[in-house]
């Protein structure tokens, strides 16, 4: 298991798109994990516990919403699946062999007894290796997906108190620090003032 460290969001949208291409060329599962992660703000523990039934209905169509109970907070999380995440899920699930409704969404390639979920340390390696392969120098890990969601929501003009609520943080100052905004904003004061 990797040592827990403070990781950064991926701030550059071109890097996000390049990572998607790298991941997609290697594995639709990894591409879908990354895409759903950066478009949902879910913790990696919640992403990895998703079942096929959490994202598709009994007729095999992608659901409009994901409804789960968060592992860390035990709170219910109910949110719509974005268009980009929907397309990634469709592509991934269409190409998945012998799909069962009750199995893990992100299945491990290592089969012990039955089908097991991808493990956190393997998800870390997948995301970290893809980031390194495109030259990202910041510390990247599984939490990067959630932070990237929050960072880009903030950059697109979403109020910090709404992002705080979406991420289940107790204070907006925590959310700003979490998504890497505080230092950046303070630096901007020095760089833009120029009295």
Residue 170, pLDDT > 60, answer yes
Residue 5, pLDDT > 80, answer no
Q: Are 74 and 21 in contact (CB under 8 A)?
A: no
Q: What is the pLDDT of residues 76-109, one digit of tens each?
A: 999 999 999 999 999 999 998 888 889 999 999 8
pLDDT-based confidence at residue 3 (cuts at 50, 70, 90):
very low
Predicted TM-score of the model (pTM):
0.90
Residue 4, pLDDT > 60, answer no
Identify the active-site residue in 31, 92, 124, 178. 178
Cα–Cα dist 126/20, whole Å: 12
The rounded percent of the chain whose pLDDT value lies above 70 is 95
Identify the active-site residue in 20, 29, 152, 169. 169
pLDDT at position 186: 73
Which helix (H) or strand (E) segment holds residue 78: the answer is strand 76-80
Q: Are 18 and 128 in contact (CB under 8 A)?
A: no
Contacts of 160 (CB under 8 A, 6+ apart): 154, 172, 175, 176
Residue 70, pLDDT > 70, answer yes
Q: Which residues does residue 63 pair with via DSSP β-bridges, in sequence order?
A: none
Identify the active-site residue in 29, 49, 146, 147. 146
Cα–Cα dist 24/73, whole Å: 31
Domains and CATH numbers, the chain: 13-193 (1.10.443.10)
Identify the active-site residue in 20, 29, 43, 49. 43
Cα–Cα dist 18/45, whole Å: 25
Residue 180, pLDDT > 60, answer yes
Q: Are 167 and 41 in contact (CB under 8 A)?
A: yes
- Annotation says 112 is catalytic: no
Cα–Cα dist 118/58, whole Å: 23
pLDDT-based confidence at residue 113 (cuts at 50, 70, 90):
low
- Annotation says 137 is catalytic: no
pLDDT at position 19: 97
Question: What is the arithmetic mean of pLDDT over 148-155?
Answer: 96
Q: Whole-number mean pLDDT of the chain?
A: 91
Residue 1, pLDDT > 70, answer no
pLDDT at position 21: 98
- Annotation says 152 is catalytic: no
Identify the active-site residue in 143, 147, 151, 154. 143
- Annotation says 178 is catalytic: yes
Identify the active-site residue in 72, 75, 83, 192. 72
């Amino acid at each position: 298991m990797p040592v827990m460290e403070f990781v950064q969001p991926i701030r550059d949208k071109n890097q996000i798109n390049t990572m998607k291409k790298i991941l997609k060329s290697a594995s639709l599962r990894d591409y879908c994990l990354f895409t759903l992660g950066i478009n949902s703000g879910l913790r990696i523990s919640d992403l990895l516990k998703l079942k096929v039934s959490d994202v598709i209905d009994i007729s095999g169509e992608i659901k409009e919403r994901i409804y789960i109970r968060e592992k860390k907070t035990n709170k219910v999380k109910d949110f719509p699946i974005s268009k980009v995440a929907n397309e990634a899920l469709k592509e991934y699930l269409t190409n998945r062999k012998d799909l069962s409704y009750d199995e893990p969404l992100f299945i491990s390639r290592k089969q012990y007894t039955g089908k097991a979920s991808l493990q956190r340390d393997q998800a870390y390696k997948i995301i970290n290796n893809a980031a390194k392969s495109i030259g990202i120098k910041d510390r990247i890990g599984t939490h990067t997906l959630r932070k990237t969601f929050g960072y880009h929501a903030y950059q697109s003009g979403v109020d910090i108190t709404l992002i705080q609520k979406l991420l289940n943080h107790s204070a907006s100052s925590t959310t700003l620090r979490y998504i890497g905004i505080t230092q950046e904003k303070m630096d901007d004061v020095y760089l833009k003032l120029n009295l």
